[in-house]
Amino acid sequence: MEGKPTFDQLPSVVSQLMKEVKEIKGLLYDLKEGNSNNQSSEWMTLDQLVEYDPEQRKKSTWYKMVSENKVPYHKRGKRLLFLKSEINQWLMDGRVSTMEEYLDTANQFLK
C-alpha cells in the first residue's frame, strides 16, 4: 500500500501490521533462544509435543485440537508430526496485545 491509508483501510492495515509483527516476534524468539534453522525446523512426535507444551495439555486435548484443525500439524500415514517452529509461532499467536501496543503499532505505521 502506497501513501497514507484512508480511515476505511485502517482495520486491514492494522491487521496486516499485526501479522508482520508476529512473524518478527517469532524470528526474534528463535534468535533469543539460540535456535538455528535446524533446531527451529525440528520435528516432534505427539509425545514430544506434550512434554514441550508449556501449558502441559494432555494427549487427548492435543488430539482434539488436531481434529478441529486448531493447531498446525503434519500427518504421515497414521502418525502425527509437529514442527517446533510452527508450534512456537502458534503458541505466540495466542498472545493478546495491549491497547498501548495496538496504538503504538498504528502510530508507527501512520508516521
| Per-residue pLDDT at 58 | 97
Find the mean pLDDT for residues 37-62.
88
The model's confidence at residue 40, banded by pLDDT at 50, 70 and 90, is low
How far is 61 from 56, CA to CA, in rounded Å? 10
Three cell numbers written together for 86: 510452527
Give Cα separations from 44 to 36, 37, 51, 61, 70 (angstroms).
Answer: 16, 15, 10, 16, 17
DSSP letter at 70? -
Global model pTM greater than 0.75: no
